[in-house]
Structure 1
Amino acid sequence: MVDGTGMLCVRLLIKLRGVVAGAEPGTQVRVLTTDPAAPIDLPSWCHLTGHEYLGLVAEHPDHAEHALRVSAGARSTRPDRPWHLER
């Protein structure tokens, strides 16, 4: 579970990047968000990296919960800029 409540997506993606980097392929990761851009940014980041966005799991009064699956052979992003692939 990645708690991204109170974070804008850039900080959330930096945190998510670290969690995903240490996870085995096939691992499902749940992400808690409050940023209204998360339903756009999370699928886009998954598309960029090659991970599988599974969608919105639940909406709570104070946050939303999304899920993604870690993919084997996914592309890594820069530690400080999660929208840029590592070279």
Structure 2
Amino acid sequence: MAQEAMLTRTPDGTHHLDGGDLGCARLLVLLRDVVAGLGAGEVVHLTTTDPVAPIDLPVWCEMTGHRYLGPVTGGDRATYAVQVCATARPTDPERPWHVR
């Protein structure tokens, strides 16, 4: 059973979304919902065990207009950084991989 994701904020202001073992579709829904509530320039670190995240996240960012910053080093789990963009394109509510 997949665990629920948890969003926290670090002292430096970076948001951390722990996606645990959620698959790509659920991760993108969560990430989309998180970035919708953040301001331009804010950064989200997404931690996940999903093996396709390093492929899907850059593509999703390119599609939506957010900026993929790449892997975050130094942790014991795979973590990827995304910067929120003010001019991002919204996605379909049920399918975060489809731009409206």
Normalising by structure 2, report the TM-score: 0.80
- The runs of at least 4 aligned residues of structure 1 exceeding 4 Å deviation read none
Q: How many Å separate the matches in 2 of 1:66 and 1:47?
A: 15
How many corresponding residue pairs? 84
Structure 2 stretches of 5 or more lacking a match?
Answer: 1-15
**Counterpart residue number, 2:93:** 79
- The structure with higher relative contact order (CA 8 Å, sep 6+) is 1
Match of 1:13 among 19, 28, 31: 28
Structure 1 stretches of 5 or more lacking a match?
Answer: none
The secondary structure found in structure 2 opposite 1:73 is: coil
Which has the higher Rg, Structure 1 or Structure 2?
2
Measure how far apart 1:9 and its partner are.
0.8
Amino acid at match of 1:66: Y
Match of 2:40 among 25, 29, 37: 25
Normalising by structure 1, report the TM-score: 0.91
Identity percentage of aligned residues? 54
